[in-house]
Amino acid sequence: MVCFISRSFFKELRGRLYILPAKYILCGLVTLVLLFALLLLGFISLWLKKSSLDEVSFYYSDGKWRDSCEKQCTSKFESPPLLLISLDGFRNDYLLRNLTPAVQRLMSCGTTTPYMIPSFPSITFPNHYTIVTGLYPESHGIVDNSMFDRNIGKPSTNSEFPAEHFFHPKNASADWYNGEPIWNTVNFAGKKSGTFFWPGSEVKIQGNEPTYKANFSATTPFSTRVNQVIQWLQLPAITRPSFLTMYFEQPDGAGHAAGPDSDAVNSQLIFVDAMLNYLLQRLDGEGLLGCINIVIVSDHGMETLRPTSFSSFDEFAPKLPPGSLAISSVVGHIYLNDGTAAPSGKNVTPKADKDIYDLFPNATCKKGEKYRLYTRNTMPRRYHYASSRVGDLIVDSRLGSKFFDTKKHKEENKLIGAHGFDNIEPSMRAIFGAMGPSFKQGAVIPPFQNIELYNLFVDVMRLPNRAPNNGTLGRLYSVLKNPPEYPHEKTHIVAQCSKQFELLKCGDSCHFPSLEPNQPYCFTGHAIEFAGPHDACEVPLCNGSITIDAEERPIVVSSLLTSPIPNIDFRANCSLKLHAMPPPPTTPSPDETEPDSSTTVTPNLTTTTTLPPPIDKTCPRVKFVDTISLFALNSYHWFIELTQLKVDPNFIDGVFKHLLQLIYKYRIHYKTLRMFSGVIWDRNNDGLADEVKEGPPTHVFVVLFRCSGAWNTNLTHCVDPEATRVLSFALPLTEKDHNCMYHIEFLFRNTVRVRDVELLTGLQFFTDRVHYHPDLAIRLRTAVVEQLWQLEEHPTQETES
């Protein structure tokens, strides 16, 4: 209704009594109500602004808990409960802004690390579920915030994909979640758990759920979450949870909306820190702060987006093959109708890598300027991202870029910040802090990956059960006041082969100088003790060795890289054959009673073989065409036929040539290196060595060791074990790099942990406890490579040939 009141009305009203019609009365009332509503809204707005400021001030009002790190437990607890707190999107260098005194005090009163490395992709749901399971996203199934799996729900019968095939955090079923979250482990131990928001806690996994839980709602005040957790902790012992979680969605929301360097992020840092202060002062006031263990983490960091680096699917592939689909994010997934993502569910032979790349000719060979394209086979092994739920083609966006399904959506983007990038990027780093009766005070440990947290939770709560996970037992023992004993790992030290071998020279173009084993540059000791398959044995060489299996196939070769042996033409058409020598004659001892008994002679190749080796006139000369050696270009070992591997010529002329050049530069710069190399079979992309090694291998691995200080006399170990430095690679044996990256970047992206090499080969390094304390050995094996070794002189930027 619209009210109009004319001037004549007021004239008529003046001077005489006038009875107002009902419509005028109604219009007047409406006007008064509207004016009152406007005034009320203005008052509420002003009040809310004042309230938000007062709220932060209120939650900071009591900070007595920060006066001392020593806290006494005044309540009765049989064992300390564990409270896990997540601050979503809290980048590690936010701490340097000095806006979070409560977070920083908690860390200084307990244990922390310069940063915690998330898992790839550095996205909320995958990493939160990794934190509570200890599994990589490819293992626990939550590979992204949005994903596709045709095996979930009912199979489709037409070209449309059922909604059940798509994962969304708000409507996901338990079928999407693999692994065992820590609250289930707690429940299986006969204890209780409570979660006030945590990805995965809202569904029944393994038929179980937390004892107490609250489903996520962004409208739930942070203070309500704090109060509920405290109420759970105040329950009687018989009903009180032993494990609790609390989740805050800030500063992630502000980082997306305004970017990591914004005032909005700073405001949210202040607010979540005030909430933490409120929690800790209330726990202190209730006499609970000295009774519980608290772990505070974040899932990832945040990066400012650069719209000029955005890419969209329709720009490089205007049309998908029929029955395929694309899911956009920082990590893009393209699911092809090839049996992996077929809507009909028919079994079709998956496409070869080359066939997949050939579908998108406009997207390949872009040098990684905006993105890198990978298949499950070419995905770097350090990503641990090759399960069936990731796309047949994965778009790995470069830092600051993002992948969109259409150009229109790309242009409509309003977000300023994002995450999901390579998990070793500094801007993706997360935080970790722990305080309580079980944790050391004032300790700072080296950075670690968040797959290690599940084992820590089990150890802190001293649970009798533990689910299989990707973490390494003992990795975080150093944060505990009373850690368990380091696990006794069943290892098999590789022994020297009982059979004696010699090297036969094939061909007359192997012009080697004499190389006597007693020369100053010939060392025969083990480089790094490691354990291998039970049927393996070692053939020792001068400055190297070959470990072979029962069928005399090479498993791993070791090399001492010092000064190169001069006058060796590595282009020579010659080969060295490893030849088994006949058993030495036996000489019965005088007091023998058995006529056929013999004395076992322990062979030692380095004391029975010299160079130049004997010439076998009958053996055919081998031309090493399209082959690489597992030995580096450093000695005659390069010509040993057993360690030659046939590969694609493009691999030889491309990445492998540049790897050898890099190793050469390292040897010149660092003077002495130890190198282990071998082959990997991982056809199912599960990150584990294949039980049956059929067909050609999938990868070549190289592990380099050096000392930042002095080597021991035999050049086998560092005098100070803490000076040991490790750099490892796992290079896919593909015909080419379809991204055409600079070779140095390709090598870096295919670095791996030593632990990854162990899992992919069955070997184990650093088992010699005389030199390596268990804590150091585990740190060396699990260290994530975050950069290549540095050289004094940096080569000029290379160009692609």
Secondary structure in 3-state letters for 712-762: CCCCCCECCHHHEEEEEEEEECCCCCCCCCCHHHHHHHCEECHHHHHHHHC
Predicted pLDDT of residue 446? 97
Predicted pLDDT of residue 592? 45
For residues 453-470, give the mean pLDDT: 98
Q: Domain residue spans in the chain?
A: 85-151+160-304+426-479, 307-337+351-413, 501-581+613-782
Return d(Cα 119, Cα 697) in angstroms, integer: 27
The position carrying tokens 């609970």 is 288
Tally of helices (H runs) and strands (E runs) in the chain: 19, 34
Q: Which CATH number fits domain 501-581+613-782: 3.40.570.10, 3.40.190.10, 3.40.50.300, 3.40.50.1820?
A: 3.40.570.10
Predicted pLDDT of residue 386? 93
269 contact partners, CB below 8 Å, separation of at least 6: 90, 94, 97, 99, 100, 251
Predicted pLDDT of residue 571? 67
List the single range of 25-39, 239-253, 624-638, 753-767 with lowest mean pLDDT.
25-39
Fold of 307-337+351-413: Gyrase A; domain 2 (3.30.1360)
Q: Among 325-334, 524-533, 726-735, which range has the highest average pLDDT?
A: 726-735
Q: What is the pLDDT of residues 70-100, one digit of tens each?
A: 888 888 888 999 999 999 999 999 999 999 9
Return d(Cα 373, Cα 738) in angstroms, integer: 8
Taking CA atoms, 483 is separated from 197, 352, 406, 476, 477, in Å, by 29, 48, 53, 9, 5
Predicted pLDDT of residue 525? 57
Predicted pLDDT of residue 579? 78
Q: Give the residue with greater pLDDT, 579 vs 436.
A: 436
pLDDT at 578 over 60: yes
Under the banding of pLDDT at 50, 70 and 90, the label for residue 569 is low
List the single range of 373-387, 598-612, 646-660, 743-757 with lowest mean pLDDT.
598-612
Give the predicted TM-score (pTM) of the model.
0.86
Predicted pLDDT of residue 377? 93
Predicted pLDDT of residue 27? 60
For residues 31-51, give the mean pLDDT: 52
Q: Give the residue with greater pLDDT, 449 vs 571.
A: 449
Return d(Cα 213, Cα 176) in angstroms, integer: 20
Return d(Cα 164, Cα 693) in angstroms, integer: 37
Under the banding of pLDDT at 50, 70 and 90, the label for residue 619 is low
Query: Any idea of the CA torsion for 684, 689, 691, 695, to the nearest 10 degrees?
Result: 70
- 251 preceded by a cis bond (ω within 30 of 0): yes
Predicted pLDDT of residue 620? 63
Predicted pLDDT of residue 354? 87
Could you give the residue ranges of the DSSP H alpha helices within 67-136? 101-109, 124-133
Superfamily in which the 85-151+160-304+426-479 domain is placed by CATH: Alkaline Phosphatase, subunit A (3.40.720.10)
pLDDT at 15 over 80: no
Query: In this structure, what token pair is assigned to residue 205?
Result: 């996994």
Orientation of helix 263-285 relative to helix 101-109, angle to 10° = 50
Under the banding of pLDDT at 50, 70 and 90, the label for residue 1 is very low
List the single range of 442-446, 516-520, 687-691 with lowest mean pLDDT.
516-520
List the single range of 41-45, 238-242, 332-336 with lowest mean pLDDT.
41-45
Return d(Cα 683, Cα 17) in angstroms, integer: 99
Dihedral sign (CA 509, 514, 520, 526) = positive
The 10 Å Cβ neighbour count of residue 57 is 10
Q: What is the pLDDT of residues 165-201, one digit of tens each?
A: 888 877 778 999 999 999 999 999 999 999 999 999 9
Amino acid code (one letter) for 625: V
The 10 Å Cβ neighbour count of residue 691 is 6
pLDDT at 800 over 80: no
pLDDT at 48 over 50: no
Under the banding of pLDDT at 50, 70 and 90, the label for residue 253 is very high
Under the banding of pLDDT at 50, 70 and 90, the label for residue 739 is very high
Q: Name the residue among 477, 574, 407 with its Cα closest to residue 779.
A: 477
For residues 784-794, give the mean pLDDT: 82
Burial call 734-756: b when 16+ CB within 10 Å, e when fewer: bebbbbebbbbbbbbbbbbbbbb
Q: What is the pLDDT of residues 216-233, one digit of tens each?
A: 999 999 999 999 999 999
Amino acid code (one letter) for 727: L
Predicted pLDDT of residue 580? 78
Q: What is the pLDDT of residues 289-337, one digit of tens each?
A: 999 999 999 999 999 999 999 998 888 777 777 778 888 889 999 998 7
Over the chain, what is the mean pLDDT?
A: 84
Q: Give the residue with greater pLDDT, 509 vs 290.
A: 290
Return d(Cα 760, Cα 751) in angstroms, integer: 13
Under the banding of pLDDT at 50, 70 and 90, the label for residue 37 is low
Query: In this structure, what token pair is assigned to residue 653?
Result: 């002329």
Under the banding of pLDDT at 50, 70 and 90, the label for residue 608 is very low
Return d(Cα 657, Cα 628) in angstroms, integer: 10
- 210 preceded by a cis bond (ω within 30 of 0): no
Q: Name the residue among 587, 702, 707, 576 with its Cα closest to residue 639.
A: 576
Under the banding of pLDDT at 50, 70 and 90, the label for residue 505 is confident
Q: Name the residue among 771, 800, 783 with its Cα closest to residue 658.
A: 800
* Percentage of the chain exceeding pLDDT 70: 79
Residue 460, H or E segment: helix 453-461
Under the banding of pLDDT at 50, 70 and 90, the label for residue 677 is very high
Predicted pLDDT of residue 348? 45
pLDDT at 526 over 80: no
Query: In this structure, what token pair is assigned to residue 523?
Result: 């060392």
Predicted pLDDT of residue 621? 58
Predicted pLDDT of residue 3? 43
